[in-house]
Amino acid sequence: MARTTTRNAENPETPRGADAPNPVWFKPIMFGFMLVGLIWILVYYISQASWPVPSLGPWNIMVGFGIMFIGFLMTIRWR
């Protein structure tokens, strides 16, 4: 006979896998990526293309958006 488990006050199950809450570090890293990408783009525009990586030129915008995109992708797993 198969054993079944039920969720109730006497037998709480520990969430595992996809239902588990995020670790404490998840939100700061997620928002950090978004802010770093934004700051990258702002520094590029404010410095008139002499910062953060002058040899990239306009590709600095894509680097900034790429960093922000990592943060936005992390929001999919945010619980």
Q: How many domains in the chain? A: 1
Question: For residues 64 and 70, what is the distance between their CA atoms, to the nearest angstrom?
Answer: 10
Identify the pLDDT of residue 18.
65
Is 50 a member of any domain?
Answer: yes
Is 64 a member of any domain?
Answer: yes
Question: For residues 68 and 36, what is the distance between their CA atoms, to the nearest angstrom?
Answer: 7
Q: Each residue's pLDDT tens digit in the chain (79 positions)?
A: 566 655 555 656 666 666 789 999 999 999 999 999 999 999 999 998 888 889 999 999 999 999 999 999 999 988 8
Is 46 a member of any domain?
Answer: yes
Identify the pLDDT of residue 3.
64
